Amino acid sequence: MKNLFKTIRLSLLALLSFNFSQAENFNQWTFHGSSKKGNVVRETRGFLDVSYDSPRQNTLILRPPAAIPLPNDTSRLRLWFAVMEGDSDLIFLISDAAGREHRVKMETSRYFGSWSHPRSVLETFSCWYQGDSDMLAPTAPLEERVMPEYMDAAKTLVWPRPYVLSGILLSPAKKTRNALADEQTIKSGRGRLCLGLWDAISFNGHDAKNNWFLEERGRWGWDTQPLVFPDDLSTTEGEKHYSLELRQGFQGPVIWREKGVLSVTKKDAPALFKNAIKLPVPARGRYFLEARVWTPDGLLEGTRWMQLYVHHSETKRNDRIPASIEWTSKYDSHVFPSGGTAVLSLKQFSDANSEKPLLSGVRCQVTIKDWQEQIVFSESREFTPDFTVTFNKGKPGHCYVIEGRLFDKNRLINQTKLMFGFRNNEEKTDVSIPETVPDRDALMKGRVMAIAEHWGEFFQHYGPTTPPLGYGLPVTPERVSEFDEWLKSLPELGFDTAAFYFNPGMIEPLPGVLFLDELDRRIALAEKSGLKVVLTPTSPNSNPYREPIWSDVMPILDQYGYTLADTQAKLTWPGMWSMLPRYAVFLKSLAAHFAGNPTVVAWNLEKLAPRDREAYENKTELRVADYSQETQDAYARWRMARGLRPEPLARRFSLPGNDTPRTGPDFSEAWKRTMEFRATSGYEWVKQLMEAVRSVDPKRAILIYQMATMANVMPLLDDGGVLLPEGGPNYNELYVSSMLAQRGTPYAHEPSVFVPRMPSHIDSCYFYSSCFSQEAVWKFRWHQQAFNLARFSPLTPTLEFLKNSLPRYREWYAAKIMEPEVLVFGCQVDTLFDAPRRLALVNLAGFKEFVSLYQYHQVPAHFANEYEDWVDFSKFKLVIVAGGVLPERTIEKLTALAKTGKKMLIVGNAGRFAPERPNERDMLSRALRGMRNVRHIAPPAVPVPKKFWATHGHAKAAFDREKIEAALAWGGVRRNIFTAEPGFDVLLREGDAGHYYAAVLRRLEDGRVPGSVLPEDIRGTLGCTVSLRLPAGRYHIERFHRTSASLGNSDTDTKGLLNFHINSVEQGELLLFRITPIQ
């Protein structure tokens, strides 16, 4: 076995050395069980050329002549493959020692998502990709992370070694997944691949001596060299001359150069692999690779850039070498004094193909462009060794791009660009906040409003790499005009508040150059249009490409040592601990600049940390962030401050094929400390950034995007903070709203389908946010061009619907909330130590009980967890407790509550574990034993028909109806509104003088998110009977939303219920009713 693997290993090394005659990596592999004529496997020069024809997209299997043994320390498999035609997924088939064959997915460097890159960009990428399998080994020994009573179950989940590679499964794509794919070929199930080589990996990226990521190609490597393929450099066939230069930082010094000749043969994948260029692995840092390509006669074909991040390297120091061509100046980062003159020199040290001096008679064409791509300077003259350009039209706080293009007898032979800028004038430091600026409560409490946010980048200064669609498109006067028209249209659409987002990469394109003029202009235009403005300075963590291009901030490493990259575009995410100090300074500068502007009424700080990566689309396993060096350093400081010796962050425990742990809670000291640090980190980030704004602006509301925060940040909101999720409209995200409502803190919302696409979307927004709040603040996002996009064709009537509906919503919200009689007490700690062990506010025990209780049993409930010391338990008739893991202090708190006689319903094994006492069991049950005011109930487990699933499908099971009804009756809980039919959400509010208001919303079927386009085959209406529990008497029932109509008069029955029937309700439709007593 060892000898066989040694042969494979030698073959791999031979391939990497480009000695293809020795390669036998896919020797004699064939399709297994398929004799279709179109399924053909050809071996060529050590590669496997695979053509497939599967009209029904059935999976196909490639197998070697005999299963290939893998070394016992294999943790992953890596594969290089080329996509020549069509689209498919590749899955490793690995058999364990028990003879079980496992399908092991792989994450690849491919780009998915039609939005991620336009076709013109994808065509510049090589056909070669790499893929790594999901992990094949436990992340830690079972003895360290699995509790004794779960050990036997955990051992049954372990794949016994040794493993063998028994094949590769090929799964044809069923739809196009990027702009380059040919739709007809994919629909027909045809395609062609070239499998290059595979390797077994026995370590992770944290243990590698060299760990790098080539961003624009999505490639990574551990103890290997980065590869650039010929078709990365040119889209045209034939012989090319090339020059590669690697710069340390943006516009930094050159540290490596290679020149040569290569051949681009798009249809010959093995030749492309053979001619790949190896890059060095320099010292840790951020690098820019500049690639120039010429035709054999010296005509410059083009220039391309890629970014290389190096996390670990055996190289400790880089040596500088002269650039072949570059602009120079005497100022650091080419930032000139405010109001000064820029003097720039162009140096050309050699021609394209040698180190000889440049020939005479060359002409240089110079252009300088501003941020709108407009030429502000242009000249053409003979190039000389002392070629210098003087530019005296620069504005303070502005950046420009100078380009020099060298021509030899009208033939372009070289070119280069440089960004330069001018420092800002000094800001006033004694600006006070205008009295007319509202604080948080004046802005939000008791208001029903809509904020319009412009969907699209504010603007994008020049960057050498090619950004994907939606991340930094070049700004032109036409795009600026489109924004202006969007802004001026808002009052007519019923909006009085606008928002637009920008980031440090846009506002500070070079160090010390803050581009604020355009921000000032847009805010002035908003004021002229009668609008107030919410400024959204997104963190670089909000989306890739938003960290300044000149920054040396390194991206996140996940628990396995992979660079955390965007789902589809493979763009990196900067680490919060590495960017926090500079981002805080950036926010303070902005807050100081706009402190005295009365049009700016709030700040919106977006996405202070990325979520742990979920396994979906082309992501195959959960990746826990952040394990980068800066975060490890912060963890070391955190431990030392608590008297602990520094240790690395613990890695989330999981087993092959079982990414969601089913091995019980992880109470190891290493994991407990890691999760404690991560929880306090989120708190610290919010605290420091709020303090940065508050140091100069003590008044304005600060909206905080809640994605990766925890409930422990809620006390920070007392200083004018507001949590803003991107997740509604649905009930399942309202547990946060409930917790904040009990604290008296307002809450804002942004729908997950953020472009308002249809009336049902709007109705759902304002219905769900009324469950616990007297105010509703929704932020809707779109841009001027959305009116012309087919998928947003309903935008205009939807915005008109919003405008016309706001008065009716306001009448509904003006009525008093009928407070829930039930409290669901969940726990965040439960999901930090037990499945799924993810740090996010959306992961906590009690969540499914909270959703199920309302959307399947029509019993609204408030929510609380271990962080909410402000909750008043005396307001509730029944407390439902969920969470197998509860902190010891929470168990003591619930025990004390039960001793007061409070009726309590314990769900499942709630309180079985406490992290502080890992060896004890059932602490809560033992403490409550014998109490007559305590009962138990099984967790929601009764399957709900898909048609009636809760929104988003987050809760797909209900409580046992008979048992939950008995428990509610025992607790004295009575519904004040309900329907006889499933699939409806209902609320009742109390008006003045005995008036009531009722709301009935029909959910979208199959758990669809509001805003989804419904297939024709599930559209249709349903009727329902509504029952209200009201004081005895006669009432007039009147519908007043969407259409106005009287349903007549009706009397309450002997059970105290007022019943009326609705004949027809569309999916997503909200019905509002006035219930008026008749004297």
Concatenating the DSSP letter of every residue in 619-687 gives --S-B-B--SHHHHHHHHHHHHHTT----PPPPPP-BTTB-S--S-----HHHHHHHHHHHHHHHHHHH
Report how far residue 643's alpha carbon sits from residue 139's, in angstroms, rounded to the nearest whole number. Answer: 27
* Residue 228 pLDDT: 97
Angle 1005-1008-1009 (CA atoms, 0-180°, nearest 5)?
Answer: 135
1-202 topology per CATH: Jelly Rolls (2.60.120)
Structure tokens at 600: 């700016």
Query: What's the mean pLDDT in 14-25?
Result: 38
- Binning pLDDT at 50, 70 and 90, where does residue 462 land? very low
Please name which of 249, 316, 254, 267 lies closest in space to residue 84, comparing C-alpha atoms: 267
* Residue 477 pLDDT: 87
Report how far residue 823's alpha carbon sits from residue 880's, in angstroms, rounded to the nearest whole number. Answer: 6
* Residues in the chain, total: 1079
- Binning pLDDT at 50, 70 and 90, where does residue 290 land? very high
Return the exposure string of 967-984: e unless at least 16 CB atoms fall within 10 Å of the residue's CB, then b: bbeebebebbbbbeebbb
Query: What's the mean pLDDT in 706-723?
Result: 82
State pTM to two decimals: 0.92
pLDDT by residue (tens digit) across 662-677? 788 999 999 999 989 9
Q: Would the pLDDT of 177 be above 80?
A: no
Query: What's the mean pLDDT in 718-744?
Result: 88
pLDDT by residue (tens digit) across 569-628? 567 778 888 888 888 999 999 999 999 999 999 999 876 665 565 544 445 677 777 899
* Residue 666 pLDDT: 93
Please name which of 517, 573, 279, 555 lies closest in space to residue 398, comparing C-alpha atoms: 517
Question: Which residues are CB-neighbours of 930 under 8 A, at least 6 positions away?
Answer: none
**Domain at 325-422, CATH homologous superfamily:** Immunoglobulins (2.60.40.10)
Say which residue, 646 or 580, is predicted with more confidence. Answer: 646
- Binning pLDDT at 50, 70 and 90, where does residue 8 land? very low
Query: What's the mean pLDDT in 940-950?
Result: 91
* Residue 727 pLDDT: 77
* Residue 17 pLDDT: 37
Domain boundaries, the chain: 1-202, 325-422, 440-652, 820-973
Q: Would the pLDDT of 686 be above 80?
A: yes
pLDDT by residue (tens digit) across 871-896? 999 999 999 999 999 999 999 999 99
C-alpha dist (Å) from residue 744 to 28, 50, 774, 1032: 70, 63, 11, 33
* Residue 726 pLDDT: 79
* Residue 471 pLDDT: 39
Contact call for residues 983 and 947 (beta carbons, < 8 A): yes
Angle 112-113-118 (CA atoms, 0-180°, nearest 5)?
Answer: 100
Report how far residue 573's alpha carbon sits from residue 554's, in angstroms, rounded to the nearest whole number. Answer: 8
Q: Would the pLDDT of 459 be above 60?
A: no
State phi, psi for 946 to the nearest 5 degrees.
-55, -35
820-973 CATH pick, 3.40.50, 3.30.360, 2.60.120, 3.30.70 = 3.40.50
Give 539's DSSP letter.
-
116-125, 319-328, 716-725: least confidently modelled range: 116-125
Please name which of 240, 232, 244 lies closest in space to residue 298, comparing C-alpha atoms: 240
Query: What's the mean pLDDT in 917-946?
Result: 95
* Residue 617 pLDDT: 41
- Binning pLDDT at 50, 70 and 90, where does residue 171 land? very high
Q: Would the pLDDT of 15 be above 80?
A: no
Report how far residue 61's alpha carbon sits from residue 172's, in angstroms, rounded to the nearest whole number. Answer: 11
Report how far residue 813's alpha carbon sits from residue 774's, in angstroms, rounded to the nearest whole number. Answer: 6
Q: Would the pLDDT of 163 be above 90?
A: yes
Q: Would the pLDDT of 836 be above 80?
A: no
- Binning pLDDT at 50, 70 and 90, where does residue 450 land? very high
In this structure, the number of other CB atoms found within 10 A of the CB of residue 341 comes to: 12
Q: Would the pLDDT of 445 be above 60?
A: yes
Say which residue, 123 or 193, is predicted with more confidence. Answer: 193
Query: What's the mean pLDDT in 202-219?
Result: 93
* Residue 708 pLDDT: 53
pLDDT by residue (tens digit) across 745-776? 999 998 888 788 899 999 999 999 999 999 99
Query: What's the mean pLDDT in 814-827?
Result: 96
- Binning pLDDT at 50, 70 and 90, where does residue 345 land? very high
421-435, 734-748, 945-959: least confidently modelled range: 945-959
* Residue 357 pLDDT: 54
Question: Which residues are CB-neighbours of 666 under 8 A, at least 6 positions away?
Answer: 145, 146, 653, 833, 834, 837
C-alpha dist (Å) from residue 947 to 461, 583, 733, 964, 999: 48, 46, 21, 22, 21
Q: Do domains 325-422 and 820-973 have the same CATH topology?
A: no
Report how far residue 187's alpha carbon sits from residue 654's, in angstroms, rounded to the nearest whole number. Answer: 37
* Residue 540 pLDDT: 60
311-315, 391-395, 844-848: least confidently modelled range: 844-848
Report the share of the chain in percent with pLDDT over 90: 66
H helices of 459-514, in order, are 477-489, 504-507
C-alpha dist (Å) from residue 759 to 454, 715, 755, 795, 803: 20, 36, 12, 9, 11
In the predicted model, what is the mean pLDDT of the chain?
A: 88
C-alpha dist (Å) from residue 64 to 42, 53, 168, 611, 1039: 13, 20, 9, 40, 70
